[in-house]
Structure 1
Amino acid sequence: MTHWSVPYIGLPWREKGDTREGVSCWGLGVLLYREIAGITLPTYAEAFATSSERAEIAAIIDGATSAWPWNLVLPGQERNLDVAIFRRAGMDTHVGLICGRGRMLHITHDQESAIVDYRSGRWAHRLAGIYRHADLMERPLGL
């Protein structure tokens, strides 16, 4: 059986993208939630001009994770489709999607979407928190 994340590996980067033709890090989450969980997430595309606007993106992430529908997940309790938030340049500006214990599916502007270990290497010291959407708190996804 193929892992659910395989069709999302190798997607190209696109500024503010949220389709299979190209995604940003948040756009990858928008795409996964739409296709896998049937949940429509806001794109926040109007809130910033480019992904280089770190302060604006950090403010969006802070506002989104500090209120409903996102719930903080305790370490070791993460599961598929939880959203992992990472610090870059001292601000919470990067998003990955949990796809197994210690693994995340993510994309950066210089690479295609890929699965990496977020508990070691360049991401481990940057992890700011993991969040679960309220609609997934009790609902098993069967992934």
Structure 2
Amino acid sequence: MQDHWSTSYVGLPWLEKGDTRAGVSCWGLCQIVYRDLAGIVLPSYGDRFACSAEQAEVQAIIRGATSGPAWAPVALEDARDLDVAVFAVAGLDAHVGLICGPGRMLHITHGQDSAIVDYRAGRWAHRLSGIYRHAEMMERARAA
């Protein structure tokens, strides 16, 4: 049985604003996976905030990115691998994870290594704000 694509991204260490396998933030993890698996270069937003504790700035970045033409909202029941799930933290949309199967996401949080968790249960279930698909991924699906 072949490993799922997400397996090689589990266990990466947390690093504030990190975007390499040596250390990643939640958005940095998305950047790495999109670059590696889809050949899509996602923008870096590290220069727009000092640290992840600046939740309002992180929310503004996430909302700005997901409201642009590069991202389209996806219904929960239509979520598929590599869609980006956005979550509220302290009432602000300030965390992202990557869908990696029904009800599962690959993500990383401050002080923990990257992991796969069920976003329908536990601490993430009530925090899900939306799921988004990159326009290029939508175009590829139409072409297939």
Could you tell me the TM-score, scaled by structure 1's length?
0.96
Q: Which residue of 2 is the match for residue 89 of structure 1? A: 90
1:115 partner letter: I
Q: Which residue of 2 is the match for residue 139 of structure 1? A: 140
Q: Which residue of 2 is the match for residue 50 of structure 1? A: 51
Shift of 1:106: 0.2
2:138 partner letter: M
1:22-101 maps to which residues of 2 (within 5 A)?
22-101=23-102
Q: CA RMSD in A?
A: 0.7
* Equivalent-residue separation in structure 1 for 2:93 and 2:24 (angstroms): 19
1:15 partner letter: E
Equivalenced residue count is: 140
2:75 partner letter: L
Q: Which residue of 2 is the match for residue 18 of structure 1? A: 19
Q: SS where residue 61 of structure 1 aligns?
A: helix
Structure 1 unaligned runs (5+)?
Answer: none
1:90 partner letter: G
Structure 2 unaligned runs (5+)?
Answer: none
Shift of 1:56: 0.4
Q: SS where residue 14 of structure 1 aligns?
A: coil
Q: SS where residue 128 of structure 1 aligns?
A: strand
Q: Which residue of 1 is the match for residue 129 of structure 2? A: 128
Could you tell me the TM-score, scaled by structure 2's length?
0.95
Percentage of pairs with the same residue: 66
Q: SS where residue 109 of structure 2 aligns?
A: coil
* Equivalent-residue separation in structure 2 for 1:48 and 1:91 (angstroms): 15
* Equivalent-residue separation in structure 2 for 1:53 and 1:129 (angstroms): 21
* Equivalent-residue separation in structure 2 for 1:23 and 1:137 (angstroms): 26
Q: Which residue of 1 is the match for residue 118 of structure 2? A: 117
* Equivalent-residue separation in structure 1 for 2:47 and 2:106 (angstroms): 25
Shift of 1:138: 3.6
Q: Which residue of 1 is the match for residue 106 of structure 2? A: 105
Shift of 1:125: 0.2
1:32-85: CA deviation from partner (whole Å, max 9, x where unpaired): 000010000001111001111001000001111111100000121000100000
Moved over 4 A (4+): none
Shift of 1:139: 1.9
